[in-house]
């Protein structure tokens, strides 16, 4: 990471917006997070020039790890062309002057909201998640003091109370996103609001995964090649979503599909949520 | 011929427990032994330190002085087999203490809303302690839930209903089922019949008496109601201003009270 101090095209801003001391502090917290997979490390979150909930946690992490030679990709719900993705990408183009891309395989750092790219990530890539609520135990135990003790003592029985309740009400585990996982057989972690479709991609991944929650000022990590197991019951095993139809644009049957409403007559179509993946497949066919 | 065991082994020792919030506020110099299968009642007026003592005994609050010794028979160590192990409750560390509370002990609150998770169904409430012990089979958890609802005389068809749709007496039964599902050896009860009307109280007491006998539970029961104490407790401790003023067999204390305060307490009972 050769962060050269002042070569931003906007004078007055440090490289990648944050000052060097802040980046150093976040990198120290990241090292701790990588050393204890799944453990939530508090950090001194800074104000970013955008509201909480738009990805301030992910942006602070990206700003801290970005070097001048990095290639950045930003996705929002899998797409490179939605508002959040476009504005964060433009932000880093301006304040860090780094190269950006929409191609998954060409990126060295990918900041994401809600999805993991369909194309398998490779060694050396870093995936940065924007996390709204980092604490998986919160819905059942509102006390922060208590949840920390529960993490420390591995008291994770209550996580299954939630899954039990799902089955009792709906007949199956109805949690479809932010599906809790156990990292390296130790910490229960909320994998940010990714669909459970993406949970298997967390397991033994080649890439480094970093999670940043800006409002709550916590970050956590999954180092490459870490075991990540989705919680389930013996007689109700973990399953991912499946669709009856392939993507109507590229015909993929193995990707996560979004339902798009096309008119007010009830017309709808299912298309890949990962725009880069869909685009590549269509180019291959053409 | 099998003879009944006359000298039952001790389960819990309280040694000179003192926990004071101010002069005469709290409990002081409490010393007793609870044996296996015994129901010990703690009676006294409000402010006499009953609840403070219960909090100290059940691991929720450290005493200023004294020790709580629990004689555990559960897998003391791999080699020792079934040998008992004496655990000093406030010296074993938080992890061990919480594990003990979760697995071998139970706590029934006066207000069932304190002991239940109101956001999830009755079945999830009953199954929680089993899940904490590592049970991961939905069908088994559900069967255990229904079985225990039946044992506390709740309709097992209501297993998916939220506890808030239950009446006060039913919530208390649910709390008891949730506590007893892991078959603890020692249960602490804080006014289990408080706030219930007389006929509901009677049925609940009847059920508690049956369950403690069937499961061979040891119970420490805090109550201000002498009728409840007479029905459930084998032995009584009478507390006043943080101290035990009289202790002995329940019938002996209630029929022949020696201490002036106990005499006052017994003579104040209303009889219809």
pLDDT tens-digit map of B227-256:
889 989 999 999 999 999 999 999 999 999
Q: Is the pLDDT of residue B78 over 90?
A: no
How much is the ipTM here? 0.83
Bridge partners, B25 (sequence order): B22
The answer on B176 and B195 residing in a single domain is no
Whether B22 is covered by a domain: the verdict is yes
Q: Looking at the structure, do residues B80 and B190 belong to the same domain, yes or no?
A: yes
Strands A187-189 and A181-183: antiparallel
Judge if B66 and B44 occupy the same domain.
yes
- Judge if B158 and B211 occupy the same domain: no
- The region, left, alpha or beta by phi > 0 then psi within -120 to 50, assigned to residue B218 is beta
In B, which residues are within 8 Å of A157 by CB distance? Answer: 128-129, 131-134
B67 and B191 share one domain: yes
- Which alpha helices (DSSP H) does chain A contain, by range? 20-35, 56-65, 83-96, 144-152, 157-170, 199-202, 275-285
Asked if A166 is an interface residue toward chain B (Cβ–Cβ < 8 A), one would say no
Cα–Cα dist A274/A116, whole Å: 9
**Percent of chain B with pLDDT strictly greater than 70:** 94
> Is B109 inside a domain boundary?
no
Residue B241 lies in a domain: yes
Domain, as residue range, for B246? 10-104+184-267
Q: What is the pLDDT of residue B3?
A: 66
What per-residue confidence (pLDDT) applies to A209?
97
A43: which 2 tokens? 């950090």
B110 lies in some domain:
no
CA distance B136 to chain A (A): 5
CA B255 from centre of chain? 25
The whole-angstrom distance between residue A265's C-alpha and the CA centroid of its chain comes to: 35
| Residue in A with minimal Cα distance to B98 | A153
Name the residue in chain A with its Cα closest to that of B118. Answer: A140
For residue A39, give the nearest of A229, A177, A182, A247 by alpha carbon.
A182
Average pLDDT over residues B149-159: 92
φ and ψ at A258, to 5 degrees? -100, 145
Pairing of strands A99-100, A71-76: parallel
In a shared domain, residues B212 and B250: yes
Q: Please indicate, yes or no, whether residues B153 and B65 belong to a single structural domain of this protein.
A: no
The two structure tokens encoding residue B262: 């106990």
Q: Which of B116, B123, B131 to mutate to test the interface with A (most CBs of A within 10 A)?
A: B131
pLDDT for A8 equals 45
The residue among A143, A159, A166, A168 with the most chain B CBs within 10 A of its CB, best to mutate, is A168
Subunit contact A161:B127, Cβ cutoff 8 A: yes
Average confidence (pLDDT) over B193-199: 81
Residues B209 and B98 grouped into a single domain: yes
pLDDT at B93: 87
Per-residue pLDDT at B8 exceeds 90: no
CB within 8 Å of chain B, chain A residues 210-239: 232-236
Cβ neighbors of B236 (< 8 A, separation 6 or more) are B40, B41, B42, B43, B229, B246, B247, B248, B249, B250, B253, B254
Same domain, B49 and B63: yes
* Any domain includes B174: yes
Contact (Cβ atoms closer than 8 angstroms) between residue A88 and residue A96: no
Give the per-residue pLDDT at B76.
44
List chain A residues with pLDDT less than 70. Answer: 1-11
Compute the half-sphere exposure of residue A146: CA atoms within 13 Å on the CB side of its CA.
Answer: 11
Last residue of a domain, one of B166, B183, B200: B183
Minimal Cα distance from A171: which residue of B?
A: B138
Q: Are strands A181-183 and A99-100 parallel, antiparallel or unpaired?
A: unpaired
Q: For every residue of chain B, which 3-state class applies, written as one string?
A: CCCCCCCCCEEEEEEEEEEEEECCEEEEEEEEEEECCCEEEEEECCCCCHHHHHHHHCCCCCCCEEEEEEEECCCCCCCCCCCCEEEECCCCCHHHHHHHHHHCEEEECCCHHHHCCCCCCHHHHHHHHHHHCCCCCHHHHHHHHHHHHHHCCCCHHHCCCCHHHCCHHHHHHHHHHHHHCCCCCEEEEECCCCCCCHHHHHHHHHHHHHHHHHHCCEEEEECCCHHHHHHHCCEEEEEECCEEEEEEEHHHHHHCCCCHHHHHHHHCCCCC
Residue of chain A whose alpha carbon sits nearest to that of B124: A161
Please indicate, yes or no, whether residues B178 and B189 belong to a single structural domain of this protein: no
Contacts of B10 (CB under 8 A, 6+ apart): B33, B34, B35, B36, B71
For residue B79, pLDDT over 50 is answered with no
Disruptive mutation site among A138, A146, A165, A237 for chain B (greatest number of B CBs within 10 Å):
A165
B132 closest CB neighbour out of A155, A164, A169: A155
Confidence of residue B77 (pLDDT cuts 50, 70, 90): very low
Last residue of a domain, one of B183, B204, B221: B183
B14 plus B81 within the same structural domain = yes
Provide the number of structural domains found in chain B: 2
Q: Please give the Cα distance from B249 to B62 (Å, whole number).
A: 28
**B136 interaction partners in chain A (CB closer than 8 Å):** 160, 232-234
Rounded distance between C-alpha atoms, residue B46 and residue B109, angstroms: 16
Please give the pLDDT value at position A1: 46
CA A150 to CA A129: how far, in whole Å? Answer: 24
Closest CA to B117 of B152, B161, B162: B162
How many CB atoms are closer than 10 A to CB A14?
18
Do B14 and B100 lie in one domain? The reply is yes
Q: What are B11-42's pLDDT values in tens digits?
A: 999 999 999 998 888 999 999 999 988 999 99
Q: What is the DSSP letter of A177?
A: B
Q: Return the exposure string of B50-59: e unless at least 16 CB atoms fall within 10 Å of the residue's CB, then b.
A: bbbbbbbbbb
Q: Is A44 an active-site residue?
A: no
pLDDT tens profile B107-148: 999 899 988 998 899 999 999 999 998 899 999 999 999 999
Which of A161, A233, A235 is the closest to B120 by Cβ?
A161
Percent of chain B exceeding pLDDT 90 equals 56
C-alpha torsion angle, residues B149, B154, B155, B157 (rounded to 10): -40
CATH of the domain at B189: 3.40.50.300
The domain boundary, picked from B183, B202, B237, lies at: B183
Q: What is the pLDDT of residue B2?
A: 65
Q: Which residue has the tokens 């972690």?
A: A189
Closest listed residue to residue A276, CA positions, set A118, A153, A51, A137:
A118
Convert the pLDDT of each residue in A87-131 to its tens digit: 999 999 999 999 999 999 999 999 999 999 999 999 999 999 999
Judge: B137–A164 Cβ closer than 8 Å, yes or no.
no
For chain A, state the CA radius of gyration: 19
Domain membership flag for residue B32: yes
**Tokens found for residue A53:** 């909930």
- At residue B45, the pLDDT reads 85
Joined together, the tokens standing for residue B256 give 């022949």
Check the CA dihedral A241-A247-A253-A254 and report its sign. negative
Helix (H, G, I), strand (E, B), or coil: what is residue A169?
A: helix
């Amino acid at each position: 990471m050769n962060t050269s101090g002042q070569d931003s095209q906007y004078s007055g801003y440090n490289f990648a917006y944050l000052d060097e001391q802040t980046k150093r502090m976040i990198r120290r917290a990241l090292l701790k997070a990588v050393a204890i997979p799944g453990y939530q490390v508090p950090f001194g979150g800074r104000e970013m020039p955008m509201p909480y909930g738009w990805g301030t946690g992910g942006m602070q992490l990206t700003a801290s790890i970005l070097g001048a030679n990095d290639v950045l990709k930003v996705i929002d719900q899998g797409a490179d062309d939605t508002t959040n993705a476009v504005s964060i990408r433009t932000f880093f183009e301006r304040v860090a002057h780094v190269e950006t891309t929409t191609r998954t395989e060409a990126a060295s750092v990918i900041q994401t909201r809600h999805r993991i790219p369909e194309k398998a990530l490779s060694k050396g890539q870093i995936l940065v998640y924007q996390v709204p609520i980092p604490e998986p135990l919160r819905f059942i135990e509102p006390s922060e003091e208590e949840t920390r003790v529960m993490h420390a003592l591995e008291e994770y029985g209550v996580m299954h109370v939630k899954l039990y309740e799902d089955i009792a009400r709906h007949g199956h585990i109805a949690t479809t996103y932010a599906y809790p996982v156990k990292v390296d057989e130790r910490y229960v972690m909320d994998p940010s609001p990714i669909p459970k479709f993406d949970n298997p991609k967390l397991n033994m991944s080649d890439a480094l995964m970093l999670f940043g929650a800006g409002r709550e000022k916590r970050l956590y990590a999954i180092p490459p090649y870490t075991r990540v197991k989705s919680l389930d019951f013996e007689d109700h095993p973990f399953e991912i979503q499946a669709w009856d139809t392939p993507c109507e644009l590229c015909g993929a049957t193995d990707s996560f599909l979004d339902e798009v409403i096309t008119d007010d007559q009830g017309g709808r179509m299912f298309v890949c949520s990962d725009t880069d993946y869909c685009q590549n497949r269509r180019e291959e066919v053409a | 011929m099998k003879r009944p065991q006359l000298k039952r082994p001790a389960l819990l020792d309280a040694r000179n427990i003192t926990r004071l919030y101010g002069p005469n506020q709290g409990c002081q110099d409490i010393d007793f032994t609870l044996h296996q299968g015994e129901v010990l009642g703690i009676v006294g007026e409000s402010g006499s330190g009953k609840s403070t003592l219960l909090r100290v005994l059940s691991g929720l609050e450290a005493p200023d002085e004294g020790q709580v010794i629990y004689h555990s028979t559960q897998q003391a160590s791999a080699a020792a087999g079934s040998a008992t192990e004496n655990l000093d409750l406030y010296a074993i560390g938080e992890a061990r203490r919480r594990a003990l509370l979760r697995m071998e002990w139970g706590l029934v609150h006066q207000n069932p809303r304190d002991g239940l998770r109101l956001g999830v169904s009755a079945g999830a409430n009953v199954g929680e302690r089993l899940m904490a012990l590592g049970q991961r089979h939905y069908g088994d958890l559900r069967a255990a839930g229904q079985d225990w609802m039946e044992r506390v005389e709740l309709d097992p068809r209501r297993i998916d209903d939220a506890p808030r749709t239950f009446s006060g007496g039913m919530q208390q039964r649910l709390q008891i089922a949730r506590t007893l599902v892991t078959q603890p050896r020692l249960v602490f009860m804080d006014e289990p019949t408080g706030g219930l009307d007389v006929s509901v109280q009677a049925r609940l007491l009847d059920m508690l008496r049956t369950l403690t006998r069937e499961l061979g539970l040891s119970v420490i029961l805090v109550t201000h109601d002498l009728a409840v104490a007479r029905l459930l407790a084998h032995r009584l401790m009478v507390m006043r201003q943080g101290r035990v003023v009289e202790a002995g067999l329940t019938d002996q204390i209630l029929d022949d009270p020696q201490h002036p305060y106990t005499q006052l307490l017994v003579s104040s009972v209303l009889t219809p």
